[in-house]
Amino acid sequence: MSRRAQLPAALRATRLPMVGAPLFIISNPDLVIAQCKAGIIGSFPALNAREAPGEPVMLEAWLKRITEELDRHNQANPDTPAAPFAVNQIVHKTNARLERDVEICARWKVPVWITSLGARVDVNEAAHAAGGIVLHDVINDRFARKAIDKGADGLIAVAAGAGGHTGAQSPFALLHEIRAWFDGPVLLSGAIATGGALLAAQAAGADMGYVGTPFIATTEANADARYKQMIVDARAEDIVATAGVTGVTGNYLRPSFENAGTTVEEIEAVGTQMSFGKAREERPKAWKHIWGAGQGVGAVEAVVPAAELIARIGREYAEAQARMRRILSDWPARGDWPA
């Protein structure tokens, strides 16, 4: 496909072509606000906002705080406004909160909706009616076509190496198949932890990068301090893929199985069916400390504020652009190639 559609305004309103992926349990208002103020789209799963029966609806409180803090930032910093934020909806039959959460997000006019584990026309229509755009995450071309057919505006291509629920395909293969027919927004997920990887994602056909694992090791993240340190200490060889934890294949830190007193093989022998109606705390106790991560962990060298992490990736992105300009000057397009 030779010509690319222009990105929606919400995706262009960033200082770096990057979205902070929604991290289950970990993403919270502190992290989202820091990401947006630093110039990238911050996001969180709606299911992270949990409240006990009879308490005020936590999702409402989170959206109010994020909206108001970003509005104040924009009024005080008109030259460097915050990027928009996104909310991730788990569109799966076991998510009993979906209808309620969709109504709340529509009322607060969430600008970017990320849908996962299923595509539904009614959710997409609710987002559009509220002025939002919908990005749906997919692991192959078949699911990508279904998502667009049901009204999604863009796709998140989840390739091999992505943390948490992951794909199995090379990013080059997945992006090529999607770009053969789709000219709308495409984000790439899978071991993007440096500015060079971010630029490479764009060279391969993506518009933006989708970055999750590095944000686990930030001061704002709602993660156990041991989890953050494990991210810093880990390398790609420490990542293992299994469907045993949630019923869907995901990438996890192998040392976290050891610390939980179990093994990947033991978890897989028990087996798990995917359910988003069940709290993490209701799973077997040992599984509470089995921690997800992507293969990009080797680029994470310290626990830092989110703004510092984003600045580091931004510097690397600029350096990668300069390096590519030098490479392209040595290897320009030479003549016309036969059709």
226 lies in some domain:
no
Judged against a pLDDT cut of 60, whether residue 271 lies above it is answered with yes
Judged against a pLDDT cut of 50, whether residue 281 lies above it is answered with no
Judged against a pLDDT cut of 70, whether residue 245 lies above it is answered with yes
The confidence score (pLDDT) of residue 244 equals 86
167 lies in some domain:
yes
Tell me the helix, strand and coil percentages in the chain, rounded to 5. Answer: 45, 15, 40
263 lies in some domain:
no
- Quickly list H helices, the chain: 9-12, 29-37, 58-76, 98-107, 121-129, 141-149, 171-179, 195-204, 213-216, 225-233, 254-259, 264-270, 306-330
Is the backbone of residue 290 left (phi > 0), alpha (psi -120 to 50) or beta? beta
pTM for this model (two decimals): 0.92
Q: If you count them, how many residues does the chain have?
A: 339
Cα 182 to Cα 190: distance, rounded to the nearest angstrom:
20
Which residue in 99, 92, 73, 96 sits closest to 84, CA to CA?
Answer: 73
20: containing domain: 9-216
Higher pLDDT, 288 or 33: 33
Cα 72 to Cα 234: distance, rounded to the nearest angstrom:
38
Cα 154 to Cα 280: distance, rounded to the nearest angstrom:
30
Cα 192 to Cα 175: distance, rounded to the nearest angstrom:
15
Which residue in 171, 154, 136 sits closest to 295, CA to CA?
Answer: 171
* CB distance 23 to 164 below 8 Å: yes
Cα 31 to Cα 44: distance, rounded to the nearest angstrom:
9
3-state secondary structure of 209: strand
What is the total count of domains within the chain?
Answer: 1
Q: Are strands 154-158 and 186-189 parallel, antiparallel or unpaired?
A: parallel
95 lies in some domain:
yes
* CB distance 47 to 97 below 8 Å: yes
pLDDT in tens, 291-303: 999 999 999 999 9
CATH classification at residue 130? 3.20.20.70
The confidence score (pLDDT) of residue 285 equals 53
Judged against a pLDDT cut of 80, whether residue 288 lies above it is answered with no
Q: Which two tokens stand for residue 183?
A: 């000219």
103 lies in some domain:
yes
Rounded average pLDDT over 174-200: 98
pLDDT in tens, 46-86: 999 999 888 989 999 999 999 999 999 999 999 999 999 99
Judged against a pLDDT cut of 90, whether residue 197 lies above it is answered with yes
Q: pLDDT averaged over the chain? A: 93
Give residues with Cβ within 8 angstroms of 146, minimum separation 6: 119
**Nearest-5° Cα angle at 319, 8 to 238:** 85
Rounded average pLDDT over 246-255: 91
Give residues with Cβ within 8 angstroms of 66, minimum separation 6: 29, 32, 33, 36, 85
Judged against a pLDDT cut of 70, whether residue 100 lies above it is answered with yes
Amino acid found at 241: A
The confidence score (pLDDT) of residue 253 equals 96
305 lies in some domain:
no
46 lies in some domain:
yes
Res. 331 pLDDT band, cuts 50 70 90: confident
Handedness of CA 233, 239, 245, 248 (dihedral sign): positive
262 lies in some domain:
no
Cα 320 to Cα 260: distance, rounded to the nearest angstrom:
39
Rounded average pLDDT over 18-40: 98
